[in-house]
Amino acid sequence: MKKANPTEQSYAELQSAFDFYNRTLFDDVLPNCMITLQREKRTYGYFSSRRFVSRDGQSTTDEIAINPAYFGVLPLTEILQTMVHEMVHAWQAHFGKPGRRRYHNAEWAKKMENVGLMPSSTGRPGGARTGERVADYVMEGGLFQLVTEELLSTGFQVSWIDRYPPVSLPEVPVFPHQLLLLPDESAHNEFFPEASQPAAYVEMLVAPSKLNRSNRVRYRCPHCNTQVWGRPRLRILCGAESCETAIFQVS
């Protein structure tokens, strides 16, 4: 029996998630985009407006990038949460008015709530809904939770995960979005001064040294005793050759 093509399988899964959420959360109004896997440092993903152009110059398309480095250590729901987070930015780019630079405005926050994700600067209840650094969490009984349960009931999964995930994860992902305007719009990129790329919302993670570590757990590989810190209930696989992707245990 011929083995599955990992490229086709991985991208088909992400595309099916996009299509499902476009239908169930956005009334199928979002245009198709280029979905990519990108290993941007300290990011879960990003949305980049009109990032790709056809070779004949007649059309452009947006990009939604997802970082595969975290596929093996994040719950599947959080990977899907990242996809929807970026889709809200896509919705605002086409049907609303994005905030200047990396600012998450009230329109963006309201749409996030409408789809069942509560914006929060801390990633937990009580955080600010707008600002430069805004994460989100799943609203109990909200639309995202309900439709995601439907999706997962079909057996949806992300089939391929990184054998060498990051050695540690921030406790709370914080997403300062940076809107880099296209060159003909004469923008200066204050977040990445050296960059010359088209419009991009970049999902950044707070550096571990700046986080409150009171809710972090120490994990240990049962074979080589490698230790990492992360939030509770993570599934971490060891990347050492001799450990054969052993699952880290709480220590």
Above pLDDT 90, what percent of the chain?
53
Q: Where are the alpha helices (DSSP H) in the chain?
A: 6-25, 76-95, 106-114, 143-153
Confidence of residue 229 (pLDDT cuts 50, 70, 90): confident
pLDDT digits (tens, 9 = 90+) for 71-120: 988 899 999 999 999 999 999 999 999 988 778 899 999 999 999 999 99
pLDDT value, residue 101: 72
For 79-92, give one letter per residue: b (16+ CB within 10 A) or e.
Answer: bbbbbbbbbbbbbb
pLDDT value, residue 207: 38
Q: In CATH, what is the architecture of 6-209?
A: 2-Layer Sandwich (3.30)
Confidence of residue 215 (pLDDT cuts 50, 70, 90): low
Residue 231, token pair as written in the block: 């939030």
The rounded distance, in Å, linking the Cα atoms of 99 and 176 is: 12
pLDDT value, residue 170: 52
Indicate the domain borders of the chain: 6-209, 213-251
Contact 223, 238 (CB under 8 A): yes
The rounded distance, in Å, linking the Cα atoms of 144 and 10 is: 22
pLDDT at 192 over 90: no
Lowest mean pLDDT among 186-190, 196-200, 208-212: 186-190
pTM equals 0.71
Residue 149, token pair as written in the block: 């349960």
